[in-house]
């Protein structure tokens, strides 16, 4: 009898309407950028997808100027109820074009289509719908009557959730009356530029949203630009620190959402099969390219062997490969550099004495792929327990008592998220009260909702995105 | 059939009522949200082309073709056995079903109809579907089925006793029926729709496995909800954990409410990814269904012919 091998079920790449070239979106139109053009790759095949014209200093100036004008003349003075209409329109257009956007996102980023289709796009639309609802209710958000927008927001987003991070940044900024200059990541600019088309379709006034693709040198220029009132950044802690230095001493507001090394704490009374699912979802979702990924598994010693056995079995059923295949669970690593960094850190784990186990799944010859890997016998002093790997690599540590679990979970310079697995409500609450993390999930992991504030402690940054709290970052309160 | 030698920890679990209770309540809990989310996610697997044809043929070979109505007659059973022999007369390469499932008094008719084949004859004994009768009546029911030639016995557990926490009693009854079934395969129907929680489904699954059931089966088909994907997930986890603990492979049978090829394939995906490849055989996985077969046959034709032919092209028996 043959094994149950699923035949390939590829989503059509034609749906992405891929064009040979893309251009910056400034003042309501697409313009040739004056910067050095860049090529964006499909990380699953290493083929060039499109050439992207990038923004020069003059383009940046033009975009900030357009945003300023739109803020002063149109968007800032506009009643909230009017702004809401635009946001609702954008949300609906995202829903209408969600298949196209999902395929494009998968081509450009390497994430599996089932995630871009079932997770990213629905959340992107939800963020615009949610914030559209706030636009005319800011007086009742708890910041006193008539809170004012800040002005022009400069926003820099990473490559792990290109469109979702755009939504997290743009939706609250627009809802509160700010205008936006956004720089998408160098390796994943395409969906952001298609979002420019959506702004046109929605009839958004020119200048309200400007999108400037570019390389790493464009970010600092945007941060430094005197015409920008607020900087919002999601990305690495390293870059976050540089930005904070740049902004220091200026009147600019700043929110940072940076790296993480989240602890996923499994107590011995946990629903073990679901905990295993949560561990898998926590670290292998989006190839582990998630700042709040549950990359440190803390499991109680009395169930450690059982959990590890179940985990290895479960991970060996994960399907790695073509991201456009609807049956793929783990897609491609976004870039060669990132793959190199993951390999380097994984090797360090082995060198420091942790036991490496890698899923026996077949790995494609082309493209950037890294098979799901777990390290057991990890200790707090190892690099793989301290540094963010940002890939499908899980470090497994054990603990004996709840106090030890909390101590180990908090023993990190980061503090973005954490997970607790227990059937006992009192234990969940006890632990959650002691974990220093922006989000604590109980008996689940990596759940997002526009109404739930998200953000970090310590080196994971400051400021919150989402919910009522998230509005504060874009209001003068 | 003698009970298998269990590892010490499991053998100890069945020592007395108290240890049985401790063991069952010591099993890891099942998180409802988590198991339902997993079942939903896994159901989005896209099965195409050669895999689909393989899945359809495998599903056909796993069907327990069933008629369990008060109005069942010998004629009805004869028609069913004819269908079991040749599910699609136009296409002799169609696999045969695994078994025909009838009430005990009709087993003799089924035996006659299936003479010369290796198709199983399953019978629902033990005061099916409610199980509300005395031990003697249940045993007599089983005896009738087995003596008439049933090769598989589908028993119902006493849900009342289970919900009251009289686990020892349920355990002992399964054992008694295990013994009375002689060489017949024993499928233990948990009637998960009446057990209400996934924790209970897990406990009942272990109880049935400990008592020597060859299969754990979701439902009688007479109670709603019958088989569901999340419940089947929990049961597949139980047989997988049992395999890890003992090295024995026991079976799972969802029954009731699985009507379409699409649904059946979702269950096969769950078998493949939750329990493992070795469960993908009629020895270890069955569908309790009456109307599923025709949809499988139609879809099989669609795969071969390249177009859909319609319900009039398969027999309605």
Render chain B in DSSP notation, one character per residue. -PPPPPPHHHHHHTSSHHHHHHHHHHSPP--HHHHHHHHHHHTT----HHHHHHHHHHHHHTEEEE---TT--HHHHHHHHHHHH-SSTT-TTSPPPSEEEE-GGGHHHHHHHTTTS--EEEEE-SSTTT--S-HHHHHHHHHHHHHHT-SEEEEEP-HHHHHTT-HHHHHHHHHHHHHHTTTSEEEEE--HHHH-SHHHHHHHHHHHHHTT-SEEE---SSSSS---HHHHHHHHHHHHHHHHHHS---EEE-BSS--SHHHHHHHHHHIIIII-GGG-STTTB-EEESSHHHHHHHHHHHHHHSS---GGGS---
The Cα B311–Cα B296 span in angstroms is 11
ipTM of the complex: 0.92
Please count the other Cβ atoms lying within 10 Å of the Cβ belonging to residue A3. 8
Q: Tell me whether residues A114 and B280 touch, CB distance under 8 A.
A: no
A326/B277 touch (CB, cutoff 8 Å), yes or no: no
Q: Which residue of A has its CA nearest to B199?
A: A271
Mean residue pLDDT across chain B: 95
Q: What is the DSSP string of A16-59?
A: G---SEE--EETTEE---SS--EEEE-TTT--EEEEE----HHH
DSSP state of A398: E
Binary contact (A272, B28; C-beta < 8 A): yes
Domain A263-442 of CATH type 3.40.50.1220: no
**What's the pLDDT score for residue B2?**
42
Pairing label, strands A475-476, A148-149 = antiparallel
CA A433-A435-A438 angle, 5° bins: 100
In this prediction, residues B215-227 reach a mean pLDDT of 96
8 Å CB contact of A4 and B268? yes
Rounded CA separation B288/B267 (Å)? 12
Under a CB-based contact definition with an 8 Å cutoff, are residues B65 and B290 in contact? Answer: yes
B154: annotated active-site residue:
yes
Q: Return the H-helix or E-strand segment holding A393.
A: strand A393-399
Whole-number pLDDT of residue A286: 97
Nearest to B239 by CA among B283, B193, B178, B191: B283
> Smallest Cα–Cα separation from A410: which of A428, A386, A435?
A435
Hey, are the CB atoms on A3 and B44 less than 8 Å from each other? no
The ranges assigned to domains in chain A are 13-258+457-476, 263-442
Of the pLDDT bands very low, low, confident and very high (cuts 50, 70, 90), residue B317 is confident
pLDDT for B4: 55
Within an 8 Å CB–CB cutoff, is residue A326 touching chain B? Answer: yes
Q: What is the largest CA-CA distance in chain B?
A: 60
Average pLDDT, consecutive stretches of 10 residues, N- to C-terminus, chain A (477 residues): 81 97 98 97 97 98 98 97 98 98 98 97 98 97 94 98 98 98 98 98 98 96 98 97 97 96 97 97 97 97 97 96 97 97 97 97 96 97 96 98 98 97 97 97 97 96 96 95
At residue A176's C-alpha, the angle toward residues A174 and A180, to 5°, is 35
Please answer whether residues A121 and A448 qualify as being in contact, where contact means their C-beta atoms are separated by less than 8 angstroms. Answer: no
The answer to whether the CB of A333 falls within 8 A of the CB of A391 is yes
**B197 in reach of chain A (CB within 8 A):** no
Q: Which of A216, A329, A250, A227 is nearest to A283 (CA)?
A: A329
Residue A12 has a pLDDT of 97
Is domain B8-305 annotated with CATH 3.20.20.70? yes
**Mutating which of A2, A5, A6 best tests the B interface, going by the most B Cβ atoms within 10 A?**
A6
Can the peptide bond before residue B41 be classed as cis, meaning omega within 30 degrees of 0? no
Q: Give the closest-approach CA distance of A272 to chain B in angstroms.
A: 6
Provide, as residue numbers in chain A, all residues whose Cβ is less than 8 Å from the Cβ of B276.
313
Class of domain A13-258+457-476: alpha beta
Report pLDDT digits (tens) over B164-190. Answer: 999 999 999 999 999 999 999 999 999
Enumerate residues 6+ apart whose C-beta is below 8 A from B136: none
pLDDT band, very low/low/confident/very high, at B1 (cuts 50, 70, 90): very low
Task: Please choose, from the candidates B56, B47, B23, the residue with its C-alpha nearest in 3D space to the C-alpha of residue B302.
Answer: B56
Chain B: residue whose CA lies nearest to A114: B44
Q: Is A114 on the interface with B (CB under 8 A)?
A: yes
The alpha-carbon gap from A323 to the nearest alpha carbon of chain B, in Å, equals: 14
Residue whose C-alpha is closest to residue A388's, from A133, A158, A141: A158
Residue A99: phi and psi, rounded to 5, are -65, -45
- Determine the Cα–Cα distance for residues B89 and A115; give it in Å rounded to an integer: 44
- What pLDDT does residue A31 have? 97
Round to whole Å and give the CA distance between B8 and A467.
54
Say if A469 is an interface residue toward chain B (CB within 8 Å): no
pTM (2 d.p.) = 0.94
Cβ neighbour number for residue A51 with a 10 Å cutoff: 15
Active-site residue, selected from the candidate residues B83, B187, B217, B266: B217
- List, in sequence order, the alpha helices (H) in A70-112: 80-96, 98-109
Chain B interface mutation, best of A12, A116, A119, A273, highest count of B Cβ atoms under 10 Å: A273
User: In this predicted structure, what is the pLDDT of residue B309?
Assistant: 87
The distance in angstroms from the start CA to the end CA of chain A is 68
Residue B231 near residue B256, CB atoms below 8 Å: no
Which pLDDT score is estimated for A477? 87
The domain ranges of chain B are 8-305
End-to-end CA distance of chain B: 36
Chain A residues in contact with B282 (beta carbon < 8 A): none
């Amino acid at each position: 009898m043959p094994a149950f091998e699923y035949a390939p079920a590829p989503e059509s790449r034609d749906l992405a309407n891929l064009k040979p070239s893309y251009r910056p979106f400034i003042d309501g139109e697409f313009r040739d950028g004056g910067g050095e053009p860049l090529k964006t790759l499909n990380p699953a095949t290493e083929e060039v997808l499109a050439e992207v014209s990038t923004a020069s200093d003059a383009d940046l100036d033009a975009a900030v100027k357009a945003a300023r004008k739109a803020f002063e003349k149109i968007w800032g003075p506009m009643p909230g109820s009017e702004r809401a209409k635009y946001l609702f329109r954008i949300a609906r257009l995202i829903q209408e074009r969600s298949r196209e956007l999902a395929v494009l996102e998968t081509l450009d980023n390497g994430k599996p289509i089932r995630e871009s289709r079932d997770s990213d796009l629905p959340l992107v639309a939800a963020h615009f719908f949610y914030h559209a609802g706030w636009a005319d209710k800011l007086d009742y958000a708890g910041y006193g009557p008539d809170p004012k927008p800040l002005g022009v927001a400069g926003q820099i987003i990473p490559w792990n959730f290109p469109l979702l991070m755009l939504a997290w940044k743009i939706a609250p900024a627009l809802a509160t009356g700010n205008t936006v200059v956004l720089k998408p990541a160098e390796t994943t600019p395409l969906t952001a530029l298609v979002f420019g088309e959506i702004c046109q379709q929605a009839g958004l006034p020119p200048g309200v949203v400007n999108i400037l693709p570019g390389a790493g040198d464009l970010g600092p220029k945007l941060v430094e630009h005197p015409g920008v009132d607020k900087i919002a950044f999601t990305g690495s802690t390293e870059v976050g620190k540089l930005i904070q230095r740049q902004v220091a001493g200026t009147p600019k507001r700043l929110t940072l959402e940076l790296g993480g090394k989240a602890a996923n704490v499994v107590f011995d009374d946990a629903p073990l099969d679901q905990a295993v699912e949560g561990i898998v979802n926590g670290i292998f979702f989006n190839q582990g390219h998630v700042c709040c990924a549950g990359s440190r598994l803390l499991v109680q010693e009395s169930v450690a062997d059982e959990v590890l056995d179940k985990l290895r079995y479960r991970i060996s059923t994960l399907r790695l490969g073509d991201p456009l295949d609807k049956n793929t669970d783990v897609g491609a690593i976004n870039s060669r550099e990132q793959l190199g960094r993951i390999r380097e850190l994984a090797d360090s784990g082995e060198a420091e004495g942790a036991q490496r186990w890698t899923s026996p799944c077949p790995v494609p010859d082309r493209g950037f792929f890294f098979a799901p890997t777990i390290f057991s016998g990890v200790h707090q002093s190892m690099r793989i327990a301290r540094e963010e790997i940002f890939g499908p690599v899980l470090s497994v540590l054990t603990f004996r008592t709840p106090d030890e679990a909390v101590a180990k979970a908090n023993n990190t310079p980061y503090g973005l998220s954490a997970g607790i697995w227990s059937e006992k409500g009192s234990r969940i609450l006890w632990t959650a009260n002691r974990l220093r993390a922006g989000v604590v999930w109980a008996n689940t992991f990596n759940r997002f909702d526009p109404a739930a504030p998200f953000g970090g402690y310590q080196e994971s940054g400051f400021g919150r995105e989402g919910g009522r709290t998230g509005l504060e970052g874009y209001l003068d309160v | 059939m003698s009970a298998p030698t269990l590892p010490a920890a499991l053998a100890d679990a069945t020592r007395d009522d108290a240890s049985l209770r401790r063991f069952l309540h010591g099993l890891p809990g099942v998180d409802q949200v988590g198991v339902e989310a997993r079942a939903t996610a896994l159901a989005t697997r896209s099965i195409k082309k050669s895999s689909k044809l393989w899945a359809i043929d495998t599903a056909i070979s796993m069907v327990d073709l069933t008629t369990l109505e008060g109005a069942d007659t010998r004629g009805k059973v004869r028609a069913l056995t004819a269908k079991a022999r040749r599910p699609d007369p136009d296409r002799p390469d169609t696999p045969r079903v695994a078994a025909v499932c009838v009430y005990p008094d009709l087993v003799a008719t089924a035996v006659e109809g299936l003479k010369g084949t290796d198709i199983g004859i399953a019978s629902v004994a033990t005061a099916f579907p409610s199980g509300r009768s005395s031990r003697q009546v249940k045993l007599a029911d089983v005896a009738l089925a087995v003596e008439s030639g049933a090769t598989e016995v589908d028993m119902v557990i006493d849900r009342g006793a289970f919900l009251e926490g009289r686990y020892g009693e349920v355990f002992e009854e399964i054992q008694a029926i295990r013994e009375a079934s002689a060489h017949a395969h024993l499928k233990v129907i948990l009637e998960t729709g009446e057990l209400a929680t996934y924790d209970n489904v897990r406990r009942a699954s272990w109880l049935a496995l400990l008592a020597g059931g060859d299969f754990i089966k979701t439902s009688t088909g007479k109670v709603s909800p019958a088989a569901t994907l999340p419940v089947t997930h929990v049961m597949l986890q139980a047989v997988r954990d049992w395999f890890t603990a003992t090295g024995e492979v026991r079976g799972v049978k969802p029954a009731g409410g699985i009507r379409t090829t699409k649904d059946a394939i979702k269950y096969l995906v769950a078998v493949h990814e939750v329990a493992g490849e070795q469960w993908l055989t009629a020895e270890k996985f069955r569908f309790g269904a009456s109307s599923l077969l025709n949809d499988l046959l139609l879809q099989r034709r669609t795969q071969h012919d390249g177009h859909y032919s319609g319900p009039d092209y398969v027999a309605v028996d």
